A and B are shown apart, each in its own frame.
Chain A
Amino acid sequence: DADVTQTPRNRITKTGKRIMLECSQTKGHDRMYWYRQDPGLGLRLIYYSFDVKDINKGEISDGYSVSRQAQAKFSLSLESAIPNQTALYFCATSDTGFPDTQYFGPGTRLTVL
């Protein structure tokens, strides 16, 4: 089984809808991250969490929120989706101690119509 899983893998939604993307990991890592990938822009950090009680905004957090339900689970929410949030979203984990290798999930392709 994959160490970092994301659900759903693909989602099409409409403008204004609330969307939640979920990430689970079995690596036992404390640190979890959410990125979005856009063509020509690479990966940009949305939010990151160093433990259940420590959540931090990344480079592009506006329009997003997160919840760290447990060490193994980190969810990303779009409260009111808009078309420019159409992107590929990746969850990643890393062990305690910066810097460390990040392990990425397979991604969620989100389309907002």
Chain B
Amino acid sequence: AQSVTQPDIHITVSEGASLELRCNYSYGATPYLFWYVQSPGQGLQLLLKYFSGDTLVQGIKGFEAEFKRSQSSFNLRKPSVHWSDAAEYFCAVGARNTGNQFYFGTGTSLTVIP
């Protein structure tokens, strides 16, 4: 069965510090991977996605993620966090073999302190 695990429920970082949010997936075929961000009171917005090719993908707002097949991971990174990055972050996998559904992780809440 497809699943997405985000081990960190909540992370706190200082403004200007680097950030890494973890995502592990379980999927039997080539995964289609996404990171979304949800600001307070808003819907989800796509940060970046991986379908194939270069395993390091760049997204909006200075985020990047690296697909590591051997570790079944797709971790999100940012070199220097801004206060406006405080939000909920969701990793998701697209599963073609189960009716083209998307499966989301439980989310990581990011707090940025001055």
Interface residues on A, range: 20 to 34
Query: Does A99 contact B106, Cβ atoms closer than 8 Å?
Result: no
Residues of B within 8 A of A102 (CB): 34, 44, 46, 102
B42 — which chain A residues lie within 8 A by C-beta? 106-107
How far apart are the CA atoms of A19 and B43 in the complex, in Å? 21
> Which residues on the B side are within 8 Å of A41 (C-beta)?
106
User: Among residues 86 to 104 in chain B, which have CB atoms less than 8 Å away from a CB atom of chain A?
Assistant: 90, 92, 94, 96, 99-104
What is the minimal beta-carbon distance from B24 to any residue of chain A, in angstroms? 14
Q: How many residues of B contact A (CB 8 A)?
A: 27
Among candidates A40, A44, A48, A99, residue contacting B94 with C-beta atoms closer than 8 Å: A99
Are B104 and A99 in touch, CB under 8 angstroms? no
**Interface: B63 (CB within 8 A):** no
Count of A-B contacts with CB under 8 A?
60
| B45 adjacent to chain A (CB < 8 Å) | yes
Interface string of A95-106 (1 = CB under 8 A from B): 000110111111
* B44 close to A99 (CB less than 8 A): no
- Nearest CB on B from A33, distance (A): 8
Bound state CA distance, A106 and B99, in angstroms?
Answer: 25
Interface string of B24-41 (1 = CB under 8 A from A): 000000001010100001
